[in-house]
């Protein structure tokens, strides 16, 4: 049954894509548009596992306590999240998420990001340490449960991320331009060329946040 739900959503998303209904288009989706149809399909899933797992990708849908954040989280895969249920439905959910991850994976690979050199550690006293491709940074953080926003402050920068729950842990995602700044810095320190793919995602997928899937 779960496969049936995923197939329905994927088929609707592909149809929407061919008609210019993917994220980033300017056409109206009112009046029973395909975005509404996909939204109805998501809504009809109710308590089904598939529906819930897709809605978990909406920032703020699941409230994560700060106590759950404490500990060390290692990178497992590129991550993405949606800013609203409407945008999740309009994109086709799993299809759009898959496209984002497919675009991010080769970028992360080219920089050298992997589980052994990329992690985030959060403590109870609102301090954090992290490495991205082995490049360390640390500072303090504040977390707002209602908005699922995680603000990390270092000596050099202030960065706001968003937490969503995943099957194996959580995703820490950012506005694509913010993540691009971080990855460009890491890329430069690592001797790699400047990357643009992450920034381009903001043009292709409006309302999507990108970053890292993490697990303890």
pLDDT at site 175: 93
Nearest Cα neighbor of 21 from 39, 3, 45, 41 is 39
DSSP assignment of 28-70 equals --TTT-HHHHHHHHHHHTTT-HHHHHHHTTBTTTSPPPHHHH-
> In residues, how long is the chain?
216
- What pLDDT score does 164 carry? 96
Closest CA to 72 of 118, 137, 139: 118
* Two structure tokens written together for 123: 């403590």
Report the distance separating Cα 172 and Cα 213, nearest Å.
Answer: 6
User: For position 132, what pLDDT does the model report?
Assistant: 94
In whole angstroms, give the CA distance from residue 91 to residue 78: 18
Chunked into runs of 10 residues, the chain (216 residues) has average pLDDT values of 39 35 37 40 40 82 95 97 85 78 90 95 98 94 97 93 95 92 81 69 78 97
Q: What is the pLDDT of residue 115?
A: 96
Report the C-alpha gap between 168 and 212 in whole angstroms: 12
What is this structure's pTM? 0.74
Which of these, 205, 78, 168, lies nearest to 132 by C-alpha position? 78
Best CA proximity match to 73, nearest among 166, 205, 208: 166
The DSSP bridge pattern shows strands 135-144 and 208-215 to be unpaired
């Amino acid at each position: 049954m779960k496969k049936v739900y995923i197939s329905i959503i994927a088929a609707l998303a592909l149809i929407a894509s061919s008609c210019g209904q993917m994220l980033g288009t300017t056409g109206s989706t009112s009046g029973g548009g395909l975005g509404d149809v996909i939204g109805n399909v998501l809504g009809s899933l109710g308590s089904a596992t598939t529906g819930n797992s897709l809605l978990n990708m909406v920032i703020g849908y699941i409230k994560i306590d700060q106590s759950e954040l404490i500990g060390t989280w290692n990178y497992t895969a590129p991550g993405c999240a949606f800013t609203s249920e409407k945008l999740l439905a309009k994109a086709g959910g799993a299809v759009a998420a898959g496209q984002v991850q497919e675009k991010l994976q080769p970028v992360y690979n080219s920089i050298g990001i992997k589980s052994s050199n990329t992690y985030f550690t959060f403590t109870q006293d609102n301090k954090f340490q992290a490495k991205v491709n082995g490049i360390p940074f640390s500072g303090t953080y504040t977390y707002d449960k209602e908005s699922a926003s995680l603000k990390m402050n270092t000596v050099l920068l202030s960065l706001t991320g968003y937490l969503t729950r995943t099957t194996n842990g959580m995703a820490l995602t950012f506005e694509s331009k913010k993540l691009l700044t971080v990855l460009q810095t890491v890329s430069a320190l690592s001797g790699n060329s400047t990357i643009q793919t992450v920034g381009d995602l903001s043009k292709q997928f409006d309302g999507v946040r990108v970053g890292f899937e993490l697990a303890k």
